[in-house]
Structure 1
Amino acid sequence: MIKAAIIGATGYTGLELLRLAENHPELKIEVITSREKQGKSLAEVYHWKGKYKDLIFEEPVVDKIAPKVEVAFLCVPAGKAQELAYQFLKYKVKVIDFSADFRFKSISLFEDTYKLTYLYPELNEKAVYGLCEIFTEDIKKADLIANPGCYPTSILLPLIPLVKERLIDIDFIIADSKSGVSGAGRKADLYYSFCEVNDDFKAYKIASHRHNPEIEEKLSLFAEKEIKVVFTPHLLPINRGIFSTIYLRSKHPLKVLRDCLENFYQKRPFVSICAEGIIPTIKEVRGTNLCKIGLFEDKKRGFVVIVSVIDNLIKGASGQALQNFNLMFGLPEEMGLSFSPFFV
């Protein structure tokens, strides 16, 4: 059994990771941390009934935690992970970071996007972007993984193979994405309260969302030139799930694009290309580590439309982190992860 710590275990991603870990045969959660809940058990705080019910929340003191574990999952906000990662890596503990601290290859882009100062540039050099289906071989050798953002995961998975093979016009990419409320994290904020969200649907952070530069940087890597993406996020009045609609132009028949994606992902268990004419839905992936992708063509107007759906808490966060864990430790990448959705 590989022993792990979850640093920041009281947020949605930390709790989701705990839930998933209950069914993983090679992962043992040894430590969970929370400053606010320290000294209390999972059972006391959340009425947890699973096998980790007696785990006690500790303070996030790396010197005490590191000798007990082989890997640390950092479920902390941007700006908080750098120091923790630096300390854990000194103890030879592998790190999977949920924040944005190591997602960018360009330090200046990270600092401009998140308005934070980079503390350990040398760690940025060794960090691997944890989009499992794209950077598999690098992940297998990594000690530090930057778990991707939820919106970028839903957009990059369908686009990277097409950009790599030069099958789309890289100067015209529009991504229109909708997320459930859990994507904002577990916090008290009037904007995300029930009466503000229920029976409503709204765009937010138009032309200013922090995932936009992350998407552009990764696509530019495969295009070998700078790519700009028009990205608009929206808030859905549901708990979980992301539905991304991507508008493209291509000189190639739709079958060529579909064949490209099917061939690229044919041996990958968590990316599914829908049959012709099938529109994937959030309900089909909720509770799973799947990304489902549908392709369509608007011949009259000359557009390709791609629909991509994921569960933002699983493939967009904790499930992908567990998939990264599996790859890092030489385990089957689907181990401990579900293909069966919550239909209701």
Structure 2
Amino acid sequence: MTLQVSVLGASGYAGGELIRLVDDHPEMEIAYLGAHSRAGSRLGDVHPHLGGGARRLEPIRSDLPARIDVAFLALPHGSSWEPGHLLAEAGVAVFDLGSDFRMDTPERYEAAYGSPHPLPAQLPAWLYGLPELFGHTLPGVRRVAVPGCYPTSALLGLAPLLSAGLISGPIVVDSMSGVTGAGRGVRADLHYGAVDESVRAYGITTHRHRPEIEMGLEAVVSGPVPVQFTPHLVPMQRGILSTCSATLTRAGTVDTALREAYDGAAFVDVIDAPPQTRWVVGSNRALIHAAEDGPTGRAIITVAIDNLGKGAAGQAIQCANIALGLPEAAGLTTVGWLP
């Protein structure tokens, strides 16, 4: 039986990518498109690349469970905890692309977001869904917090090495993202004239993805892992390139270790040259390159993903496939767009 799917937050970039992927999924079909903004609009008017037809965005309501099996939430921070909780309690499998359920403790959530979680007792019920690291815990799970885009890139590059004891601190992550990572809202600092021909760092020492990266790394070593994280906005539409460095504990090992860690992985490839974002745009792939700098004794790991693919919608579909007992790559066979 084809799974009936709802996308909440269907007017945004990640929501549009979810619709594109679900439309190509052999075991899923869209039953409901919900949005706070653009409710009542035809889908083709909001996302022209998804075609015309009669589909419309509807106001987000609470009477969805009877109609759907799976809900993907692509809502802004602070907007998904209520519908996510209600849908999950009604038996719907919920995959939240937002940040409301990512942190594993109320204390960590409050430290990252500056306010108490509205449902602190529910945080342990949500699984942090990075399939390559925690996929063995996904089958049968009904509440999944999809990782953030920057943490996905950093954790894929660093976690296997840290877990194997091949690197240690200080750990530094410098990431560059296209402007779609900031969402579809109108902001003066994201206008064409503000981003074209310019690169800027932002959120230095304060970005909310830093504690998420630290949480993910701590999960594989069972101890604190401080991370220096600096994100940058670059003048491109989509894609993330993260350069991660850490102290080597054993030289000549990181490339082999990463290749062994991702041997057979459906969407991660360790390659011989530093990756480019355009090699992964439009796909759920992650490309990783490993190097060792002898003079400094540092490992340098470069990771490229599509922030809307492996960093959001693609990863959500991947999590859903595993959780629901479907082939992991179902609906995700599209390769990157080039040129």
Whether TM-score is above 0.5 comes out as: yes
Pick closer, same or farther for the CA change 1:249–1:70 going to 2, 3 Å: same
Q: Deviations along 1:301-342, whole A, 9 cap, x unmatched?
A: 222111110000000000000101111111111111135211
Task: State the alpha-carbon separation in 1 of the partners of residues 320 and 139 from structure 2.
Answer: 9
Segment drifting more, 143-152 vs 130-139: 130-139
Quick one: distance in 1 between partners of 2:36 and 2:150? 29
Q: Which amino acid aligns with 2:3?
A: I
Taking only aligned residues, the RMSD between alpha carbons, in angstroms, comes to 1.4
Change (3 A) 1:189 1:303: same
SS state at 2:107 partner: helix
1:96-115 matches, cutoff 5 A: 96-115=95-114
Instruction: Pick from 240, 249, 253 the counterpart of residue 242 of structure 1.
Output: 240
Q: Which residue of 2 aligns with 1:186?
A: 184
Q: For residues 81-100 of structure 1, what are the structure 2 equivalents within 5 Å?
A: 81-100=80-99
1:272 lines up with 2:269 in the alignment: yes
Q: 1:260 aligns with which of 241, 254, 257?
A: 257
Is the contact made by 1:9 and 1:32 (CA closer than 8 Å) also made in structure 2? Answer: yes
Could you say which residue in structure 2 is the equivalent of 1:153? 152
Number of residue-to-residue matches in the alignment: 338
Shift of 1:120: 2.0
Separation in 2 of the partners of 1:195 and 1:156?
A: 33
Asked whether the equivalents of residues 42 and 48 of structure 1 are also in contact (C-alpha less than 8 Å), the reply is: no
Q: Evaluate the alpha carbon distance shift between residue 202 and residue 45 of structure 1 in structure 2; reply closer, same or farther with a 3 A threshold.
A: closer
Kindly report which structure 2 residues correspond to 1:1-344, keeping only aligned pairs within 5 A, or say none.
Answer: 1-47=2-48, 50=51, 53-63=53-63, 65-169=64-168, 171-254=169-252, 256-275=253-272, 278-344=273-339
Scaled by the length of structure 2, the TM-score of the pair is 0.96
Q: CA 1:339/1:83 → structure 2, altered by over 3 Å: closer, same or farther?
A: same
Gaps of 5+ in 2: none
What per-residue deviation string (whole Å, max 9, x for no partner) do you get for residues 202-236 of structure 1?
11111110000000111112122111001000011
Which deviates the most, 295-304 or 189-198?
Answer: 295-304
| CA distance 1:235–1:122, shift in 2 (3 Å) | same
For 1:161 and 1:46, locate their aligned partners in 2 and report how far apart those are by CA, in whole Å: 38
Answer yes or no: is the 8 Å Cα contact 1:292–1:308 preserved in 2: yes
Moved >3 Å (runs of 4+): 44-50
Paired AA for residue 62 in structure 1: S
**8 Å CA contact retained: 1:290, 1:339:** no
Please give the alpha-carbon distance, in whole angstroms, between the structure 1 residues aligned to 2:136 and 2:301: 27
Q: Percent identity?
A: 36
User: Which letter does structure 2 place at the counterpart of 1:162?
Assistant: L
Given the two structures, how large is their TM-score scaled by the length of structure 1? 0.95
Task: Identify which range, 38-47 or 259-268, moves more after superposition.
Answer: 38-47
